[in-house]
Amino acid sequence: MQERTIGRFNVSAIGLGCMNLSHAYGTPPTAEQGERVLLAALDAGVTLFDTAALYGFGANETLVGKVLSKHRSRFTLASKGGMAGVQFDDGIKRVIDGRPETVRKNCEDSLKRLQTDVIDLYYLHRWDKKVPIEDSVGAMAELVREGKVRSIGLSEVSAATLHKAHAVHPIAAVQTEYSLWTRNPEIAVLDACREIGAAFVAFSPVARGFLCDALHDVSTLQAKDIRAAMPRFAADNYAANLQLLPPYRALALEAGCTPAQLALAWLLHKAPHIVPIPGTTSVVHLQDDLGAVEVQLDVGLLAKLEALINQQTVTGQRYSAQSASEVDTEEFDVCNRRRDLLS
């Protein structure tokens, strides 16, 4: 397995996003199936495993801890706090809370579930806009000083917020959605990461299954599948997006790889500080994803890919208005400025 650098860590060029094993895409797999995927990834040379307090409201960290804690020295462990499940009278709900005391509690709870003394890379899952980013990062820096965390990351933040945070404590990585059909990191944050020496960790690198050529009928999505509420997966928008798949399949054939491998290889070719973390519930799909490290793309094919699938050719926003309000990226700043100009 090829390697890339995140802060002080050398990690596999493709990591594993563990969310799918407990969260987000309908009924999760069994614990036994999740264990098979985690161990298969470890055996295949994956050395970056990414989870969060939010995923399955702690269930994902519990699974990762149970399966991988005995192999702790073999991989870099990443998790996230500042967004977690909170118990209310009518059930557990997702809450963004970046107050220092909450960030600390999230981390300490995660350490217990993960069955470890230290988290290698600890992200602020979302910037809580009611709390100065300097305060949240200050609390994370204290966790580093106490030896509970080795390095700090941020998720879904703008370049401006990244620079503010980095002034408090070095930021090792920024994690944001990035794929052929989600290109907003190219506005500023990719360059900002390069400037400060941070890695860029790309989640949803195969466009939540779209670039795997695996989802052709969105009416089959379960009610609990988060894609059902995403504008790009609305029936009319998705019908338009499906028109991109035949020429995309042709480019994968030209490259001599599968559609999923093409999406991941594109990211690996974009810059050496990018580390994609695809997720899967299938060992077969995992092995397919990891094969992307062997795919070579020439300049001409890269140009064809980027001309085919980009922010102008994809139909629909990536998030609903509510979800968009919870992130801090240039993508939505640009959209808001356009709306202001038109109003």
Strands 91-96, 83-88: pairing is: antiparallel
CB atoms within 10 A of CB 92: 12
Residue 31 · residue 21 · CB < 8 Å: no
Buried b (16+ CB within 10 A) or exposed e, 173-196: bbbbbbbbbbbbbebbbbebbeeb
Order across the sheet with 199-203: list the strands: 16-17, 48-50, 76-81, 119-124, 149-155, 171-177, 199-203, 274-276
The secondary structure of residue 179, as a DSSP letter, is: B
Check 25, 55, 178, 248 and give the catalytic one: 55
Q: Say if strands 3-6 and 91-96 run parallel, antiparallel, or are unpaired.
A: unpaired
Concerning whether 55 is annotated as a catalytic residue, the answer is: yes
CB crowding 3-13: b at 16 or more within 10 Å, else e: ebebbebebbb
Residues 6+ apart with CB under 8 A from 291: 257, 258, 261
Question: Alpha helices, DSSP H only, in 155-258?
Answer: 159-168, 189-196, 235-242, 245-255
DSSP assigned state of 30: P
Q: How many CA atoms lie within 13 A of 137 on its CB side?
A: 23
State the Cα–Cα distance between residues 192 and 280, nearest whole angstrom: 29
Q: Give me the residues paired with residue 203 across strands.
A: 177
Contact 282/30 with Cβ under 8 angstroms? Answer: no
N-to-C CA span, the chain: 51
DSSP 29: P
Active site positions, annotated: 55
